Amino acid sequence: MKIFCVGRNYLDHAKELGNAVPDEPVIFMKPKSALILPSAPFYYPQFSNELHYEVEVVLRICKNGRYVEEQNASKYYNAYTLGIDFTARDIQNELKKKGLPWEKAKAWDNSALLSATWFNIKPNEITDDIEFSLKQNSNIVQKGNTKDMIFSFNTIISHISQYFSLNIGDIVYTGTPAGVGECMPGDILEGFISDKSVFLIDIK
């Protein structure tokens, strides 16, 4: 299983971090060891002093493929859910200053929270109008809609497949909206798709 992630896919998020708006999807990857379900304990990483949450809609790949054309890309994913791309922002900022890769800030063990609740995509279902949000200690801190993505699901899937094989069971984090921020031990994070709670996790 591979974990693909898309950076800077919401305009307001790119702006809030002072990043340039990309002209093609920004792709990075996390190892399988990054994956954590809400039922498992989540511990604040010892190497960071500035841990950020980034809530994202996540796609599930259902068909093997390579060099997928955008008009056919919807055949390659069949469900979506919600996750968090946890980011050690202090580490990332230092790496970016030096022009170095982000793995230590983005791909550490347990850095990819994934809800266990999946929503199956029906034939011809519209997926470019999915509302989602994140609460931190009962306060809404992020709110997004997939219609505001810079690059659509199909564009993302097609682009990834030009460089990597898609395999059944791979997952794709599709980007985070504005509102990313710091979380601390003792915080409770709850994710919603529309008004349905799909995960609840406390940071230890």
Taking only the tens place, the pLDDT of each residue in 20-59 is: 778 999 999 999 999 999 999 999 999 999 999 999 999 9
Residues in the chain with pLDDT values less than 70: 13-19
pTM of the entire predicted model: 0.95
**pLDDT value of position 126:** 77
CB 59 within 8 A of CB 32: no
Percentage of the chain exceeding pLDDT 90: 88
Fold of 3-38+50-202: Fumarylacetoacetate hydrolase; domain 2 (3.90.850)
Please give the mean pLDDT across all residues of the chain: 94
3-state secondary structure of 23: coil
**pLDDT value of position 17:** 62
**pLDDT value of position 16:** 66
For the chain, what's the residue count? 204
